[in-house]
Amino acid sequence: MIFNSSEKTGRLPKRISITVIVIIIVLLAATCVSAQKIGFISYSKISASHPNTEKINQLTQELRTELQTRQAKLNQDGKGLEETELKKLEEKMNTEWDPIKQKLIAQMQALQAERTSDIAQAIKNVGEKGQYQVIINSEVPIFTGNDYDEYPIILYGGDNLTQDVIAEIEKIASANK
């Protein structure tokens, strides 16, 4: 009986090569997955800690107070007026109020944009410094009745980077002054 040894030896190294390549790929993939770092933050805490948040809250309160004051004045001055006169008074007050309102809103939007930019930069800085592949918000806001509640979406694992980001924002905010 004659065996074709070249056929068997040709297949064997090919199978070994493929097996070795598959093992190397699996080991590399496992190494890459285990080397990844995941961080998480509480965006609401970070946002609340930013210096602009207090300014935004003050402007929001100023806007509400001014609106309430103007509404009370309109109610007082409009007592006993005919409908057409009341409409004229309301238009006059709205014309006076609109530039003030637009100025306050523009200030709030500028502060919000700066805050958002600072937070994004701080997260990026902390992520790069710690070599994190991903940083996610650890909470998701859920509307419950008349209020928003924060529910955790990270229940296990990862590194909490909230305080690191807050410290980085303090550096950025002081550099912007």
The pLDDT value given to residue 6:
47
Asked whether the predicted pLDDT for residue 19 surpasses 70, the reply is no
Residues ≥6 apart with Cβ < 8 Å to 123 = 41, 135, 161, 165, 168
pLDDT reading at 83 higher than 90:
no
Number of domains in the chain: 1
- Give me the CATH number covering residue 153: 3.30.910.20
Q: Which range (76-85, 107-116, 126-135, 149-158) has the least confidence?
A: 149-158
Dist. CA 65–CA 100, nearest whole Å: 12
* Residue with token string 């690191």: 164
Q: What single-letter amino acid sits at 40?
A: F
Range of the domain at 87: 5-29+37-176
- Please state, in angstroms and rounded to a whole number, the distance separating the CA atoms of residues 52 and 169: 11
The rounded distance, in Å, linking the Cα atoms of 24 and 165 is 38
Which of 56-70, 73-87, 94-108, 118-132 is the least confident region? Answer: 73-87
| 110 pLDDT above the threshold of 80 | yes
Q: Is the pTM of this model over 0.75?
A: no
The mean per-residue pLDDT over the stretch 38-56 comes to: 93
Q: What percent of the chain has pLDDT over 90?
A: 44
Looking at the predicted structure, is the pLDDT value of residue 166 above 90? yes
Does residue 120 have a pLDDT over 80? yes
Position 136, amino acid: I
